[in-house]
Amino acid sequence: MIYTLVIILTIISAVLLIGVVLIQKSKGGGLGSTFASSNSILGVKRTNDVIEKITWWLAGIICLLSILSVFVAPALTSSTGIRTHVEAPAAPAIDVQQPAAELPAAEAPAAE
């Protein structure tokens, strides 16, 4: 239950981070350059600061949730259907002391 909640919060944070990064402009203009004519509500500098802070907070939240998910993840045991020990099939035994002439010969492909 807790693991599912952590994963859902991580996905929501990642989607929000993608949105915030797409709002930004690569040269620092970002959302503030769109509202350059209306500096009375949010100035260019303030808008860029807010978006940058949101970006850093979301990145930090994703990191913390990723670390938390390791600690709350369910343990992989045999009760969940996952085998912890897999046995390999036994290979046929070959007698090393046997001369090479007595070993069974591999069949050659038929010539057409």
Domain boundaries, the chain: 2-73
Least Cα distance to 63 among 105, 10, 4 occurs for 10
Judged against a pLDDT cut of 90, whether residue 43 lies above it is answered with no
Please, which pLDDT band fits residue 51 given cuts at 50, 70 and 90?
confident
Please, which pLDDT band fits residue 88 given cuts at 50, 70 and 90?
low
Judged against a pLDDT cut of 80, whether residue 83 lies above it is answered with no
Taking the CB of residue 10, how many other CB atoms lie within 10 A of it? 18
pLDDT at 102 (0 to 100): 57
For the stretch 19-32, pLDDT in tens is 999 988 766 555 55
Q: Is the dihedral of CA 19, 24, 25, 31 positive or negative?
A: positive
| Share of residues in the chain with pLDDT > 70 (%) | 48
